[in-house]
Amino acid sequence: SAVISQKPSRDICQRGTSLTIQCQVDSQVTMMFWYRQQPGQSLTLIATANQGSEATYESGFVIDKFPISRPNLTFSTLTVSNMSPEDSSIYLCSVAVDSPTDTQYFGPGTRLTVL
Amino acid sequence: GNSVTQMEGPVTLSEEAFLTINCTYTATGYPSLFWYVQYPGEGLQLLLKATKADDKGSNKGFEATYRKETTSFHLEKGSVQVSDSAVYFCALRGGNQFYFGTGTSLTVIP
């Protein structure tokens, strides 16, 4: 298994500002993911954070809006840039443990409100 | 492509009632299947999983069996408790990507 922490746990931000969310894992993992969960909705994958290379973004998400860093195998950041109220959501970091359980584990999430 | 369809909620049950939340999937190959639970104000937690056909995942009284013939992975519990109130997500892993259902909200009343 993997234990994942996220900072901040929640924040209230003003329109037009940016917020960086940190994700820390207690072990080295190859695959880290960032998801968005809007109120009452399921999870939407934003991007896969790759160590040592650019993140891979899903359709509808771009690097300028959601820049991601992955400096090592235990840490990643997601920045939500130039925020608008539509960015209000829960942002979840997750990791995939490939062996032997082939399972994805999630952080507690960051609850973002944009005014 | 890969996708997951799960029973829409919300579901409201009395304590000690039997629970079934339906989940069906579409996938190429043989994906691993999962149920995750999200308690109010928290992130997702793995509840149980199954990695091949006819496997049964179980945890905390919940069970789900990987049925390849019906492409299903229904979640069941014989006697729910108030503390089971949460949102339940069915998911599959295909390749390096995970696909989640829309979630089913369960409320258990005393």
**What string of H, E and C letters represents the secondary structure of chain A?**
CCCEEEECCEEEECCCCCEEEEEEECCCCCEEEEEEECCCCCEEEEEEECCCCCCEECCCCCCCCCCEEEEECCEEEEEECCCCHHHCEEEEEEEEECCCCCEEEECCCEEEEEC
Determine the Cα–Cα distance for residues A34 and B99; give it in Å rounded to an integer: 13
Closest CA to A47 of A30, A62, A64: A62
Determine which of A63-67, B36-40, B65-69 has the lowest per-residue pLDDT on average. B36-40
Q: How confident is the model at residue A98 (pLDDT cuts 50, 70, 90)?
A: low
**Stretch B25-45: mean pLDDT, rounded?**
89
* B108 pLDDT more than 70: yes
pLDDT (mean) for A9-27: 96
Rg for chain B, CA atoms, rounded:
13
DSSP string covering A22-53: EEEESS--SEEEEEEE-TT--EEEEEEE-TTS
Does the pLDDT of residue A15 top 80, yes or no? Answer: yes
Give the range among A5-14, A95-104, B58-67 with minimum mean pLDDT.
A95-104
Percent of chain A clearing pLDDT 90 (strictly above): 73
CA pair distance B98, A58, nearest whole angstrom: 13
Nearest CA-CA partner of A13 in A65, A75, A64, A89: A89
Q: Are B106 and B21 in contact (CB under 8 A)?
A: yes
Residue B18, min C-alpha distance to chain A (Å): 24
Contact list in A for residue B100 (CB cut-off 8 A) is: 42-43
Residue A84 or residue B40, greater confidence: A84
Q: How many residues does this entry show for chain B?
A: 110
pLDDT confidence of residue A16: 97
Q: Up-side HSE of residue B89: CA atoms within 13 Å toward CB?
A: 24
Question: Which of A48, A102, A108 has its CB closest to that of B93?
Answer: A102
Tokens 């829960």 belong to: A90
CA A72 from chain centre, in angstroms, equals: 15
What's residue A74's pLDDT? 94
Cross-chain residue pair B44–A106, CB shorter than 8 Å: yes
Chain B residues with CB under 8 Å of A108 CB are: 42-43
- Tell me the average pLDDT of chain A: 91
Closest residue in B to A47 (Cα–Cα): B97
